[in-house]
Structure 1
């Protein structure tokens, strides 16, 4: 029996869950799982349902729109695996973790390509029989380089672009080309220590915990909606290099967790925050 994910975001009104469930019942659909959340401050309603059965998608969506507020966002998908393109530079811990999970069938995604501004990751990527695109940034402005990066991405199927330690600041043009599609891992527990060399920044402040943050990319550097975070403890004996090494383990776990949430359609972007259902 086919399974689908139904995602709804709208203003909260009385009887929403009842009315939605009634329509699903009338289409002889089973609700396998269901999660809801209402933001009391803004009266915004979020719902994620996994449903199963056979139905006419056009009719179902029309009937749902009829009983929901005019501003309602409705998404229905039955695609289990999404296509993703990964951007990386030279660090391999996050990329390697995703490649291994992909090879093991533990990633609800098809990695269609890896694009990098460095050649050093080619051998790793090609061991997994995944296309590798090397596009040097040498003697190019950031804008010029991104034209080639964008062209490379568009050669492949993609629904999501994952920055697996892609250590280049993206221009507004890139962000606007792929709106709401770029997932980043930042080697810091945001909002602390944004930008470059966060481990050096953390070391100079004598922090006792370090962390990583995975977030959507926006025009504001390292300030997009946060999806997942985690930390590990450190002490005065750690050099900034020790902090960096400890942080790499956190980075790959956080990126993998955030990507899993996105691939399973559990992440709603709401303003500069996320709702995870």
Structure 2
């Protein structure tokens, strides 16, 4: 029964592509989510994922790749957030809320003026089952760029996320690291557009890292756990969506959320049950 369950979706070419792309995107989001969790940038991930909407709509109007418009507006959003934060007394979380809601609202206005919104709705909610070969290769390239950059600069990023003051003291360009990490966040959002869409990508950027954070105090182990949650969660979520005939992105995010909730309860050191049994609780 298990073998039949595993092999049946593989008889369809669209499912093979969907399973591969979903797993790849899940792994990329998982690695980046570890850095976002340590940095406390959950709201920043939400901001970038929503801020790309006007770029997608404009790219649709101009006949350009969705990824190009999404990446440009993602960079515009994070640059504007950094500029406002540095030039005013407004706190970071307030600035993020202002910018991403403004960009998202602009995207909704542009979307309402679009004659045919079928493709754009796929960007909002994902359409990995109908991903084209061009979008597939685009996702692969963007994912590789993100993973390679994180691998090459992981020590600098870890120090920047843990203690930016110390990073600046030893000579690291923290401003460059700040914008580079945000650029990678924009790239990852672009890679996840086809899988879960703009609305749900923030869950894939936060949930694996948050889950791993409850299971390990070492960053290396945390990344491996996040990879397992992100990759396997995306793979199994795609399988489940095939048999339920339900939203693929929705199934992926719900499964990852269930994994987080179980971890929150049963984690051996930081879970609710462990805290309840602790004599210090």
Pairwise TM-score range, normalised by the shorter structure: under 0.3
Q: Quick check: which has more Rg, 1 or 2?
A: 1
Provide the TM-score with structure 2 as the length reference. Answer: 0.26
Which gives a bigger RCO, structure 1 or 2 (Cα 8 Å, sep 6+)? 2
Provide the TM-score with structure 1 as the length reference. Answer: 0.26
The answer to which structure has the higher strand fraction is: 1
